[in-house]
Amino acid sequence: MSTELTDQILTCLDCGNRFMWTAGEQQFFHDKGLQNIPKRCKGCTATYKAKILEKHPRFWIKCKKCKQKSEVPFEPKNSDFILCEECFIKQKSERDQILSGLGLKMPSQNDEKTTN
């Protein structure tokens, strides 16, 4: 980023309270390619996510790798290849490190949207 990040005060869309969007959080957004600034404070974000989860059922699976029981937000079509969130993130990180070592990277979601 060409400009130095500074903490910003934002107003929550839901409760109207002011909250701080720290320079570290902004850097995280930048690093992940996220372009929309937060609209809700942390409390309202948690409430919003809980409401969304109520609308979308979760399904129990047994992780292929660690064999632990876990919930996923989709109905598994083939349970032989399902990972829990922790193992999925670990496997994805390992894949990304291998690709990085080869000088490659996975396309970002923004790249996928422009090609579809």
All structural domains of the chain with their residue ranges = 1-56, 58-116
Report pLDDT digits (tens) over 79-88. Answer: 678 888 899 9
User: Is residue 45 scored above 80 in pLDDT?
Assistant: yes
Q: Which residue type does 61 have?
A: I
Per-residue pLDDT at 116: 45
Question: CA-to-CA distance for 94 and 100, rounded, in angstroms?
Answer: 10
**Which residues is 30 bridged to in the sheet?**
none
Q: Using the structure block, give the residue that is written with the tokens 């600034």.
A: 37
**Higher pLDDT pick, 72 / 90:** 90
Model-wide pTM > 0.85: no
pLDDT band at 109 (very low <50, low <70, confident <90, very high): low
Q: Please state which of the four CATH numbers 3.30.160, 2.60.120, 3.30.1490, 3.30.70 is assigned to the domain occupying 1-56.
A: 3.30.160
**Higher pLDDT pick, 76 / 26:** 26
Pairing of strands 59-62, 18-21: unpaired
